[in-house]
């Protein structure tokens, strides 16, 4: 591991904490509160890998709906339209590993967002 940049960033849906980063990768824990969801989005410069560590995730990936339970994982390819949602009655935690040339919140293209950020 080339570095560890522990910082927590609050979002309307919950929060994320960056836990590790290096050349070409960034790992974070996403905490999605009950009944919340991230925007429908894509990225031009990174792919993502999600691993559910707590709760149940409803995922939209290129118009397909998937349900991931604890221990399940999923690859989000570059430029795929996706959303992570928690319509359930327990909090959701997902480890997200980003890979790519630009690992920044600036690489989010939002299509739909219940918090008015699209």
- Give DSSP secondary structure letters for 66-84: EEE-TT-EEEE-TT--EEE
User: How do the domains of the chain map onto residue ranges?
Assistant: 7-112
Beta bridge partners of 40: 112
Query: Could you read off the pLDDT of 65-107 as tens digits, one per residue?
Result: 999 999 999 999 999 999 999 999 999 999 999 999 989 989 9
- Beta carbons of 40 and 60 less than 8 angstroms apart: yes
What pTM does this model have? 0.91
User: Residue 6 above 60 pLDDT?
Assistant: no
Query: Could you read off the pLDDT of 30-51 as tens digits, one per residue?
Result: 999 999 999 999 999 999 999 9
Q: Buried b / exposed e across 57-76, counting CB within 10 Å, b at 16+?
A: bbbbbeeeeeebeeeeebeb
* Signed CA dihedral, 15, 106, 112, 25: sign only: negative
CA nearest 31: which of 18, 14, 19?
14
> pLDDT at position 92, please?
98
**Fold of the CATH domain 7-112:** Jelly Rolls (2.60.120)
The separation between CA 52 and the C-alpha centre of its own chain, rounded to angstroms, equals 11
């Amino acid at each position: 591991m080339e570095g560890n940049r522990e910082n927590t960033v609050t979002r309307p849906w919950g929060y994320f904490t960056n836990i590790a980063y290096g050349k070409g990768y960034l790992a974070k824990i996403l905490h999605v509160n009950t009944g919340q969801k991230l925007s429908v989005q894509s990225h031009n410069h990174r792919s993502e890998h999600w691993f559910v560590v707590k709760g149940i995730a409803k995922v939209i990936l290129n118009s397909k709906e998937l349900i991931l339970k604890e221990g399940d994982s999923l690859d989000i390819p570059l430029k795929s339209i996706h959303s992570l949602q928690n319509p359930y009655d327990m909090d959701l935690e997902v480890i997200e590993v980003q890979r790519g040339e630009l690992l920044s919140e600036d690489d989010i293209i939002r299509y739909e967002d219940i918090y008015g950020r699209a």
